[in-house]
Amino acid sequence: MFKGAHQARAFAAQLELLPGRLPDVEIVVCPPFVSLEATIQGLGTDTAIRVYAQNVHWELEGAYTGEVSAPMLLELGVAGAIVGHSERRQNFGETDATVGMRAEAALEAGLHVIACVGETEEEREAGETEAVLERQIAPLPRHDRLVIAYEPVWAIGTGKTATPEITQDAHAFVKALHDTSVLYGGSVKPDNAAVLLELPDVDGALVGGASLDLASFEAICRAGAEAV
């Protein structure tokens, strides 16, 4: 929940320069709902950067106060949406079933989807990581516009980062369950991005706080370009 419309428009105008400097990296930005249109305007019509929403509802319309539907996003020019982010699961009652419903509705409407999965610290310490991932991935549809993001909950906003071994093992397991690209999300920063993005089963990064600063975000994108 950062960058209102004015900040987002100005930030997007700066981001728009990145594809020219880093043509081998696919860049997606996911601003808050109120900043989607401003971000699209700031990027301009010829940009290679795609704009995704941070969430999307499973119904086309109805009595769902506070929610936003896929057709509403498409009308703005939004290309996709995140579903199932750990903060939605932890703070707003999101379940595996509703994540699957959101993903399916978004894909059916024509959006791209980044579906988030990942275990808590308690689940990892209890040896339940694979069971949790299997449970969370089971409701997700198979689709060429679906990407999965593995975000260990204990590494989000804590400064902790999964070791390369933990990250690689988790990504390989996710790919064994679902044949798609898998991003890593969990305190990705310029100083650890290269190590993470060079792992064989890591296909990209879901960047949090480090994406709010242009230099920081560009450094992570550059690490992705070098990994490619």
C-alpha–C-alpha distance, residues 87 and 69, integer Å: 20
pLDDT tens-digit readout, 9-53: 999 999 999 999 999 999 999 999 999 999 999 999 999 999 999
The pLDDT value recorded for residue 228 is 81
- Beta-carbon-side half-sphere exposure of residue 114 (alpha carbons within 13 Å): 28
The radius of gyration computed from the CA coordinates of the chain, to the nearest angstrom, equals 17
Catalytic residue among 94, 104, 119, 151: 151
Phi, psi for 24 (deg, rounded to 5): -90, 0
How far apart (Å, rounded) are the C-alpha atoms in residues 136 and 98? Answer: 11
Our answer to whether residue 143 is catalytic in this structure is: no
* Active-site residue, from 57, 85, 171, 178: 85
pLDDT at 160: 77
Residue 156: closest CA among 116, 125, 194, 191: 116
The CATH number for 5-227, chosen from 3.20.20.70, 1.10.10.520, 3.40.50.970, 3.40.50.2300, is: 3.20.20.70
Please enumerate in sequence order all residues whose Cβ is within 8 A of that of 181, keeping only pairs 6 or more positions apart, or say none: 147, 148, 203, 204
**Summary mean pLDDT of the chain:** 96
Residue 124 CA: distances (Å) to CA of 38, 128, 129, 130: 40, 6, 5, 9
pLDDT digits (tens, 9 = 90+) for 167-183: 999 999 999 999 999 99
Which regions of the chain are under pLDDT 50?
A: none
Residue 85 annotated as catalytic: yes
Place of tokens 């933990």: 166
pLDDT at 159: 74
